[in-house]
């Protein structure tokens, strides 16, 4: 069983509606990742920014950046997790991709679409969670606005096997600084209530609507403690070595999973 997990949180200044520029940026940031890193985590809508420009979205390639990140994951022999808009069968999806070191991939379609920005008018909501197994651990992928909905991401405990549904919650985001008083406490809450690590990757800079993003990319442990956070308003590649024994120790000393309510999401 692994004792540590090496991750890199990518905190980019995304270029608005410019996939080519953002893939150049990804290439530069990926070159800064050190060899021990196993998981590289990018934010939501990386190649485009969180644009609701219908004309622009209709002209997009099916999945801008798909082949780039497939090749990079294979070349670097690392897992790359990145948010990309996707067009499929005439429908738009806000997706979070998990690229494996062999170039294969799976993805999660964002469940909760941000109606305040009109995302629900352009995109199709996902219906299924995505929990990926890697190196003996389970990772639950989510995007931005999903953070507000605790029922969707509620962890489960199997009393027969003693297993949790997942060990890590990953959120890719495009969440502006003016609402950081919302996402900062919610990140701690999701970690505590699910007895899981929360990994948060958010962008910096300004978008076309002059919204400011401070990033605040971070690792929150199952006690709700922030183990590492990036410098605000700075484009960063933040690496961190997570001690897995802490996760097991917390769950062993306070096995609240055994007392969780059982329910089904319809």
Domain that holds residue 240: 4-259
**Whole-angstrom Cα distance, residue 236 to residue 211?**
19
CA count, 13 A, side-chain hemisphere, 89: 1
Is the pTM higher than 0.85? The answer reads yes
How far does Cα 36 stand from its chain's mean position? 20
19-30 vs 66-76: helix crossing angle, rounded to 10: 10
Number of compact structural domains in the chain: 1
> Helices then strands (H, E): number in the chain?
6, 16
Q: Does residue 136 fall inside a structural domain? A: yes
Q: Decide if 246 is inside a domain.
A: yes
Q: Which token pair is 25?
A: 């940026």
Give residue 194's pLDDT: 98
What mean pLDDT do residues 195-208 have? 97
On the question of pLDDT at 56 being above 90, the answer is yes
State the Cα–Cα distance between residues 203 and 205, nearest whole angstrom: 7
Evaluate whether 85 touches 60 at the Cβ level (below 8 Å): yes
Helix (H, G, I), strand (E, B) or coil at 140: strand
> Average per-residue pLDDT in the chain?
96
Position 199 in a domain: yes
User: Per the domain annotation, does 266 fall within a domain?
Assistant: no
CB of 11 closer than 8 Å to CB of 235: yes
Residues marked as catalytic: 44, 110, 144
265 falls within a domain:
no
Q: Please tell me the predicted confidence (pLDDT) of residue 137.
A: 95
Mean pLDDT of 19-29: 98
Residue 266: pLDDT over 80: no
Question: Structure tokens of 34?
Answer: 């050190």
In the predicted model, what is the mean pLDDT of residues 244-254?
Answer: 94
Q: Please report whether residue 9 resides in a domain.
A: yes
Determine, yes or no, domain membership for 158: yes
Tens digits of residue pLDDT in 98-128 = 999 999 999 999 999 999 999 999 999 999 9
**What is the per-residue pLDDT for 262?**
84
Pairing of strands 218-220, 226-229: antiparallel
| Per-residue pLDDT at 161 exceeds 80 | yes
Contact indicator for 23, 57 with CB cutoff of 8 Å: no
Number of residues assigned to the chain: 266
Band of pLDDT at residue 2, cut at 50, 70 and 90: confident
Q: Is residue 253 part of a domain?
A: yes
The pLDDT assigned to 133 comes to 97
CATH number of the structural domain spanning residue 57: 3.60.110.10
Angle at 137 (CA atoms; ends 131, 141), nearest 5 degrees: 30
Q: Which phi and psi (to 5°) does residue 18 adopt?
A: -140, 80
Res. 1: pLDDT tops 80: no
* Per-residue pLDDT at 247: 95
């Amino acid at each position: 069983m692994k004792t540590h997990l090496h991750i890199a949180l990518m905190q980019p200044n995304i270029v608005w509606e410019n996939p080519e520029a953002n893939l150049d940026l990804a290439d530069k940031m990926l070159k800064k990742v050190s060899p021990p890193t196993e998981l590289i985590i990018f934010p939501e809508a990386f190649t485009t920014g969180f644009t609701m420009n219908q004309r622009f979205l209709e002209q997009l390639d099916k999945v801008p950046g798909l082949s780039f990140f497939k090749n990079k994951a294979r070349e670097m022999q690392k897992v790359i997790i990145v948010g990309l808009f996707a067009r499929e069968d005439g429908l738009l999806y806000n997706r979070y991709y998990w690229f494996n070191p062999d170039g294969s991939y799976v993805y999660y379609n964002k469940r909760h679409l941000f109606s305040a920005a009109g995302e629900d008018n352009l995109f199709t909501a996902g219906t299924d969670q995505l929990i990926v197994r890697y190196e003996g651990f389970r990772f639950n992928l989510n995007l931005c606005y999903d953070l507000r909905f605790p029922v969707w991401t509620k962890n489960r405990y199997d009393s027969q096997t003693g297993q949790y549904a997942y060990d890590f919650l990953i959120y890719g985001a495009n969440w502006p600084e003016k609402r950081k008083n919302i996402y900062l406490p919610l990140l701690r809450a999701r970690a505590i209530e699910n007895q899981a690590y929360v990994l948060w990757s958010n962008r910096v800079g300004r978008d076309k609507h002059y919204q400011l993003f401070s990033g605040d990319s971070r690792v929150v442990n199952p006690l709700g403690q922030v183990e590492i956070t990036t410098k605000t308003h700075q484009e960063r590649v933040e690496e961190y070595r997570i001690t897995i024994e802490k996760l097991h120790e917390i769950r062993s000393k306070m096995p609240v999973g055994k007392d969780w309510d059982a329910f089904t999401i319809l």
